[in-house]
A and B are shown apart, each in its own frame.
Chain A
Amino acid sequence: MQELIQAVQNSQTFLSGLSEAALAIIFFVLFGLVFATVAAVCALVFVYLERKISAHMQDRLGPMEVNTGIPLLKNIGHGWAQTLADAFKLLLKEDIVPNAADRRLHLIAPFILFCAVIAAFSVMPFGEKLVVSDMNIGVFFVLAITSFSVIGVILAGWASNNKWSLLGGMRSAAQIVSYEIPSGLVVLVIVMQVGSLRFNDIVMAQAGGILHWHIFQFFPLNLIAFIISFLATLAEANRAPFDLPEAESELTAGFATEYSGFKWAIFYLSEYANMFLIGIFLSALFLGGWTSPFGSLFGGFFDKPGWQPVWIILKAVAIIFLQMWLRWTLPRLRVDQLMYTSWKVLTPFAFVTIFGVGLWMLF
């Protein structure tokens, strides 16, 4: 950041006259805007991908109609603009707030959820220098921010003045909170091996090709850690097979029932942004982040800075594909089975894995 500010001040453009503070603010806002937009746009893309992937798994086509009328873009076909059309439609919908609901809380709840998820993108490493804020407690920060999103869920349930929304919100919150324990614990396995909480340190410890990735080290303990982490973050994102609190065919309405128009769109987009966040988080921790799987094979060509975002996004997409695959294959777990899995299966396994890796590392 400092070098960037120095470079701009030294250059002869009209910007060099501004003070350091002003330049810093401009850069912060710029980076924030870019990354927030990237996250939001990716959420839209993943909604479209989910519809297409689910359609092909179910032996049908999915959205095919909406291609926009612009000649070049129309030829892409396959209904690529469907999510754009849906988002635009949601902008035009009426914003219904129930009569006795608390209007301010009703407004704030989706924003808390959205801001928490997008703010977590600020520590995600898209490249060696492509991080908004390369904190040295990056991993810890992500865990803290995802806990923040629980407030949004509970507020949404509370602010709807609907007993069933409240119950649905509480159950969603209980589920998210229960799965944070195993999710946070297995990250420790990786942290122990690397010795740092900084994301770029963790990614650079996996440099050198696919065999150096954390998921293949300390076999099979790291693999178990990956599986636990994957399942726990899946449950935190309220995705199937853990999506009972928000499923439509269930009795309680789910926390987002009384939301319409753009507020509901924010909930929906937050879910997909959360999936993207999890994808990048798991790729950075276990699958080597922005390092290439080829290592030194092609003379380091694939390690160049231009390739780094490509690798991490590819790996994130692979994890997201796995999440979507699971959603459309498996039936739902009941709420008590869900809680059972978290407290009685995943948490003990996480403890055992930490201890096992600790022992292995020392001997």
Chain B
Amino acid sequence: MEKIIAVLFMFAVSALLALIFFTLNRLLGPRKESVVKSVPFETGRAPITLPTHRMSIKFYMIAILFVLFDVEMIFFYPWAVVFRKLGILGLIEMGIFILVLFLGLVYAWKKGALEWE
């Protein structure tokens, strides 16, 4: 328990440290707002883009694939810790698991989900 509290304190301390410096910045730095500074940056001239927030689908694909493989990875960890005790049977069982998910990766590959990002 105390180990987790230590981590929380670490979070709190680092946040506090950063906050102190940020406040210092706000106090010490100039504050001169102007319209030109507030305009989004687009290498100089007018931002002639349509203000629609359409995101490409490939980010969604990457996120889904990440979630799948990350969960798979989470299942690997306990198995890896007790690997020696499980012996060859554990390896074969996990091997089947790996194989199924690897086939999933190959499927995604062939279907073009990994293309172009």
Contact = CB atoms under 8 A, between A and B. Distances in A.
Interface in A175-207: 177-178, 180-181, 184-185, 188, 191-192, 195-197
Interface in A320-363: 335-336, 339-340, 343-344, 347-348, 351, 354-355, 358-359, 361-362
A162 interface: yes
A132 B97 CA distance: 36
A96 B33 CA distance: 8
Contact of A177 (B40, B41, B66, B73): B66
Contact of A93 (B4, B25, B83): B25
22 contacts: A24-B5, A29-B13, A33-B13, A36-B14, A93-B29, A96-B37, A98-B40, A118-B10, A122-B7, A134-B3, A140-B77, A181-B70, A188-B73, A192-B83, A262-B22, A262-B25, A335-B117, A336-B117, A351-B98, A355-B95, A361-B83, A362-B91
Nearest to B26: A95
Contacts of A28: 5-6, 9
B89 to A, nearest CB: 10
Nearest to B37: A96
Interface of B: 2-7, 9-15, 17-19, 21-22, 24-26, 28-32, 35, 37-42, 47, 49, 51, 53, 55, 58-59, 62-63, 65-66, 69-70, 73, 76-77, 80-84, 87-88, 91, 94-95, 98, 102, 105, 109, 114-117
A335 B87 CA distance: 41
Given A134-B3, A355-B95, A258 B29 contact: no
Given A31-B6, A348-B105, A98 B38 contact: yes
A362 B81 CA distance: 14
A90 B45 CA distance: 27
Interface string A59-87: 00000000000000000000000000000
Scoring B7, B10, B53, B55 by chain A CB atoms within 10 A of each residue's CB, the highest score goes to: B10
B22 A362 contact: no
Scoring B32, B40, B102 by chain A CB atoms within 10 A of each residue's CB, the highest score goes to: B40
A339 B108 CA distance: 14
Nearest to B66: A177
A188 B74 CA distance: 10
Contact of B18 (A99, A115, A191, A355): A115
Contacts of A336: 115-117
A111 B19 contact: yes
A258 B26 contact: no
A155 interface: no
B41 A258 contact: yes
Contacts of A263: 22, 25
Given A96-B37, A165-B40, A253-B42, 6 more contacts: A92-B28, A94-B29, A171-B117, A177-B63, A339-B62, A344-B114
Contact of A347 (B13, B15, B69, B76): B69
A208 interface: no
A129 interface: no
Interface in A86-111: 90-100, 107, 110-111
A161 B53 CA distance: 11
B25 A91 contact: yes
Interface in A113-133: 114-115, 118-119, 121-123, 132-133
Contacts of B30: 94
